[in-house]
A and B are shown apart, each in its own frame.
Chain A
């Protein structure tokens, strides 16, 4: 074959950037982990923050209880950031931070940490996720209402374009939408609509200057996408996204330069489909999903991070994450995928899939636009996601969608992988929380308080100014330098901007068509209603900072479809709020959902609060609850515990109805007496 017709590239492509989403316990412990990962051939950092840092609370805040250092690293001030990046040259490193509501603050801390290393801000490379619309829709770590949140984002973009030109100030995420149940069409349409909202807000914020720099702004927007196990269609989705993106750039923002029009994305592959049952099968799933984002050169990922085989069990240990890094390395260095031009070019199937997705996405984008754009359409999109997820679960329950090892091929030998005492997961030392509480208090005691007060007052003044004359990044960086804390920064802004609760989406989910099992259950609920005198009423509660709402939403919707009255108030409630609602609503049963790993602290706290309120209704719990924690929870008074392997939700409902039936006849509110707990 002549050189011209060689099916190969003249030169093998360079691999994508390989990352591991990591961080836990303390800044120091996470720094050690990062340095080891870099030694193993990882080529960029991906920082996981703990939930208090993500939602703007210090470790000693009441709302941080049980969450400090759990699912990520706690970063309260510039000292923590310096420790996290200690010995890592920030002029060379490319750092991705999964940070949203508090993104401006964490970027400021990063800039100050670089300053302390002698690195100027214009040299910094990396990404702040900074996508608030998807926090409202799927991820839950928001802090401020929509309008001021969009202002913060626009300010960050405006600032970085000017001063930190190699920084990706925002990563528009479709990843989390798929994790919340989105179909490929929804994933594309909502991510693109979101990007439009951000770009429009930025253009408006930049005013006159906007016309000059919009081209660069557009070029700095990158995406964070998902890839599920239906990897052929998923690849088509990425091709469709790059077509839409280019179109958007040309038509809506008048971008000319081809470099700026390129659809740049990083990936975390699908985790929602990773199972608790036979968890070793997750490795196959992860490999196939990685193919979706690497096979076709025209739509290949810039950066990849992969979940671990034990995703549905709990937090991965360094060894588990190493396994996932090695998957990427085998793909990049052993296989031949990097040796070819785009292998799907000219494929009829691929073209057909892409045009199908484009049609669907354009239609759905038009619906969002009719609602007035992505910010105004949050409630609509949330409802649509909950409904898609309801449908996904229905297909799995009915067996229409096969999940190997879960709803089919369930018989299994004992697994040696989960045989250790901890059940094959990382358990963060609960004592660390107290240490972090001490640490932040002594930080506050030792700094120049008047400098901090001044800086925060300046921040408040800039935020209060209705015209927004000053870019909020300026006083934010000044506050970081002065030694303010994460909680102080966010409280200052909360006081000006107010707080917000995102819509829950559950009211809009369609009712499931009752199959035999559900009809039977409804009849049972009617019988129970006779006995109780009232329709069985359930409170579905989400204590703590945990934003994993999927499970609670689907439980709420199914409880309704079983014939119950359901009170669901959304995420991020305190134990006291849950207890007050249970009491006032006169519910017959309380269902708590926790996936963040803080169940050991928060479930007993809710039970105590219920007891103090005089509520005797039984409590059931669901979520990521490791086997070894079930017995202590039951001792604390929990009647039943459910985990992802209990995928048949109607069956869970039947248990709950039975549980309520067993206690029927007793009043659910007894003032001043102790809870009877488990049934």
Chain B
């Protein structure tokens, strides 16, 4: 039997964090009954019902494997909790095998107090994703944003991942480790969109970290984008640069027109989801990408993602 989605959604809306694990079980499920309930849950947290955008700061943290993302999240978690923020973390783990199973290793890096009910850490396997960020992860972030102060999504990748995570996050932080040349090259070559914040981890390694930071700043300047902050952080004790990073993330959010960014993100995600579901053929059936964008652009800004996809589907017939 499926859990009651509407009830869970209402609890999250009331910022009852205890409802989060059960809500995630529902959102991740592909069982038909669960999907219906999950839709009901998400409706309870749609901008229309909330009377505006969900209050959380949704942050995407992405970068190559081993860059130090999870360890950084551990340090950030403590900084946010010290400022009284409730925090949900969604770790999308790249490990996945032919067997379909996966070893979800990020959680082991994140040090948390089990008695602290203001924290939730959830791991999922990237293996389930079809094209974009796992459908469930996007939905999960959206739902948790109604209940927590900060929602973080950790994903792996360079060049593509930031774009995907931008479909859900208000702020995208790209994490690079010292000497990490990929990100620099991708930035220079324009393969990668310019992130909102760039973080160089493992600052304790010294010179090499400083050099990486300098190179990234120079690259950004030459791209005419000196607004993006580049920070060097050490996540291992004694940590350094973490508070500065928290400030930088907040500064980005403060500058942002959240409603506009979220709306654009929802519309872009709706198109992604529709295309995954119905293929290029489906896209042609609704008159192509531009027509779809126009349809979405005219939609009620209060609609949630599912409602936007449904709208596109209706225009197929």
Binding site for B on A (CB under 8 A): 145, 497-499, 501, 504, 506-507, 511, 514, 522, 525-526, 531-535, 556-557, 559-570, 574, 576-577, 579-581, 583-586, 665-669, 671
Among B21, B22, B101: residue with most chain A CB under 10 A: B101
CA distance A665 to B34 in the complex (A): 11
B104-122 CB mask vs A (1 if < 8 Å, else 0) is 1101110110110000111
Chain B residues positioned under 8 Å from A561 (CB to CB): 97, 99, 101
A580 to B115, CA, bound (A): 8
Q: How far is the CA of A333 from the CA of B217 in the complex (A)?
A: 74
The 29 listed contacts between A and B (C-beta, < 8 Å) are A498-B238, A504-B105, A506-B105, A522-B99, A525-B100, A526-B100, A532-B31, A533-B30, A533-B31, A534-B29, A534-B30, A535-B125, A556-B103, A559-B101, A560-B102, A565-B104, A566-B104, A567-B107, A570-B108, A581-B114, A584-B20, A584-B120, A585-B21, A585-B104, A586-B24, A586-B28, A665-B1, A667-B3, A669-B21
B123 contacts A by Cβ under 8 Å:
yes
Which of the four size classes fits the interface of chain B? 35 or more
Query: Are A576 and B109 in contact (CB-based, < 8 A)?
Result: no
Among B18, B21, B98, B236, point to the contact of A586 (Cβ < 8 A). Answer: B21
A567–B105 Cα distance when bound, in Å, is: 7
Q: Is the CB of A580 within 8 A of B101?
A: no
Are A507 and B105 in contact, CB atoms less than 8 angstroms apart? yes
Number of A-B residue pairs with CB-CB distance less than 8 Å in the complex they form = 121
B30 partner residues in chain A, CB cutoff 8 A: 533-534
Contacts of B120 in A (CB 8 A): 584
Contact A671 B29 (CB under 8 A): no
| A496 CB to nearest chain B CB (Å) | 9
* B185 contact set on A, CB distance < 8 A: none
Collect the chain B residues with CB atoms within 8 Å of residue A569's CB: 107-108
Interface check B25, CB cutoff 8 A: yes
**In the complex, what residues of A have CB within 8 A of residue B115's CB?**
576
A residues within 8 A CB of B100?
A: 522, 525-526, 535, 563
Which residue from A563, A576, A666 sits with its C-beta under 8 Å from B114?
A576
Least CB distance from A522 to B in Å reads 6
Residue of A nearest to B98 (CB): A511
Q: Of residues 65 to 99 in B, which have CB atoms within 8 Å of A's CB atoms?
A: 95, 97-99
A501 x B122 contact (CB < 8 A):
no
Q: How far is the CA of A532 from the CA of B34 in the complex (A)?
A: 10
B99 touches A585 (CB 8 A): no
A418 to B288, CA, bound (A): 77
How far apart are A673's CB and chain B's nearest CB, in angstroms? Answer: 12
Q: How far is the CA of A564 from the CA of B108 in the complex (A)?
A: 18
The one of A532, A556, A560, A579 in contact with B99, judged by C-beta atoms closer than 8 angstroms, is: A560
> Using Cβ atoms and an 8 Å threshold, which residues of chain B touch A522?
99-100
CB neighbours (8 Å) of A667 from chain B are: 1, 3, 22, 25
Instruction: Report A-chain residues with C-beta under 8 Å of the C-beta of B18.
Output: 671
Taking A506-B103, A522-B100, A533-B30 as contacts, is the C-beta distance between A586 and B25 under 8 angstroms?
yes
In the complex, which of the residues B101, B114, B237 contacts A565, with contact meaning CB atoms closer than 8 Å?
Answer: B101
Q: Which A residues lie within 8 Å of B123 (CB)?
A: 565, 567, 585
Q: Could you tell me if A145 and B237 are in contact, using CB atoms closer than 8 angstroms?
A: yes
A532, A562, A570, A586: which contacts B101 (Cβ < 8 A)? A562
A253 → B minimal CB distance (Å): 27
Residues of B with C-beta under 8 A to A666: 1
- CB-CB under 8 A from A525, the residues of chain B are 100-101
Contacts of B103 in A (CB 8 A): 506-507, 556-557, 560, 566, 568
Q: How far is the CA of A666 from the CA of B25 in the complex (A)?
A: 12
Q: Which residues of B contact A557 (CB under 8 A)?
A: 103
Find out whether the CB atom of B21 lies under 8 angstroms from the CB atom of A145: no
CB-CB under 8 A for A585 and B114, given A534-B29, A562-B101, A668-B25: no
Complex A-B, nearest 10 residue pairs according to Cβ-Cβ distance, in ascending order: A498-B237, A533-B31, A533-B29, A580-B114, A560-B101, A576-B114, A569-B108, A563-B101, A586-B25, A563-B100
Please encode chain B, from 292 to 303, with 1 for each CB lying within 8 Å of some chain A CB and 0 for all others.
000000000000
CB-nearest residue of chain A to B28: A534
Are A586 and B122 closer than 8 Å at their CB atoms? yes
Would A579 and B114 be within 8 Å (CB), given that A562-B99, A562-B101, A667-B3 are in contact?
yes
The distance in angstroms between the C-alpha atoms of A564 and B100, with both chains bound, is 7
A361 nearest CB across to chain B (Å): 27
| Min C-beta distance of B94 to chain A, whole Å | 10
- Within the complex, what minimum Cβ distance (angstroms) separates B2 from chain A? 8
A6 vs B120: C-alpha distance in the bound complex, in angstroms?
Answer: 76
Q: Given the complex, which residues of A lie within 8 Å of B25, measured CB to CB?
A: 534, 586, 667-669
- Interface contact A585-B3, CB-CB below 8 Å: no
**A421–B257 CA distance with the chains assembled, in angstroms:** 73
Q: Which residues of B are found within 8 Å of A504, using beta-carbon distances?
A: 105, 108
Q: Report whether A568 and B97 are in contact in the complex, using a CB–CB cutoff of 8 Å.
A: no
Q: Which residues of B contact A556 (CB under 8 A)?
A: 103
Other contacts beyond A522-B99, A586-B122: 18, CB < 8 A? A498-B238, A499-B237, A504-B108, A534-B29, A535-B100, A535-B128, A556-B103, A561-B99, A565-B125, A566-B104, A567-B107, A568-B103, A568-B105, A574-B114, A576-B114, A577-B114, A585-B104, A669-B22
Cβ proximity bits B16-57 to A, threshold 8 Å, 1 near / 0 not:
001111101100111100100000000000000000000000
Shortest CB distance A525–B (Å)? 8
Nearest Cβ distance between residue A508 and chain B, in whole angstroms?
A: 9
Nearest CB on B from A465, distance (A): 14
Residue of B nearest to A577 (CB): B114
Q: A497-B237, A580-B114 are in contact. Are A514 and B99 (CB under 8 A)?
A: yes
Interface string of B170-185 (1 = CB under 8 A from A): 0000000000000000
Q: List, in ascending order, chain B residues with CB within 8 A of A562's CB.
A: 99, 101
Closest B residue to A559 by beta carbon equals B101
Q: Once bound together, how far apart are the Cα atoms of A534 and B238, in whole Å?
A: 40
Docked complex Cα distance between A564 and B96 (Å): 10
A557 CA to B104 CA, complexed, in Å? 11
Distance of A675 from chain B, by nearest CB (Å): 15
Cα-based distance from A482 to B34 in the complex (angstroms): 64
Contact A671 B122 (CB under 8 A): no
Q: Which residues of A contact B24 (CB under 8 A)?
A: 586
Q: Are B101 and A566 in contact (CB under 8 A)?
A: yes
Query: Smallest Cβ distance from B198 to chain A, in angstroms?
Result: 25
Please, which residues of chain B bring their CB within 8 A of the CB of A568? 103-105, 108
Chain B residues with Cβ under 8 A from A531's Cβ? 31
* Chain A residues whose CB sits within 8 angstroms of the CB of B105 once the complex forms: 504, 506-507, 568
Report Cα–Cα, A507/B123, bound state, in Å.
14
- Name B163-210 residues within 8 Å CB distance of A: none
- A566 with B102: CB separation less than 8 A: yes
**Nearest CB in chain B: distance from A144 CB, A:** 10
Of all chain B residues, which has the CB nearest A615?
Answer: B21
A521 — nearest CB in chain B belongs to which residue? B99
A580 vs B195: C-alpha distance in the bound complex, in angstroms? 33
What separation, in Å, do the CA atoms of A82 and B120 have in the docked complex?
Answer: 48
A586 proximity list for chain B (CB < 8 A):
21-22, 24-25, 28, 122
Residues in B with CB closer than 8 Å to A583 are 21
Output the nearest chain B residue to A582 by Cβ-Cβ distance: B21
A500 to chain B, nearest CB (A): 8
Say yes or no: A501-B22 contact (C-beta < 8 A), given A522-B99, A563-B100, A565-B104. Answer: no
Q: How far is the CA of A579 from the CA of B21 in the complex (A)?
A: 13
Given the contacts A498-B238, A584-B21, A565 and B122 also touching, CB distance less than 8 Å: no
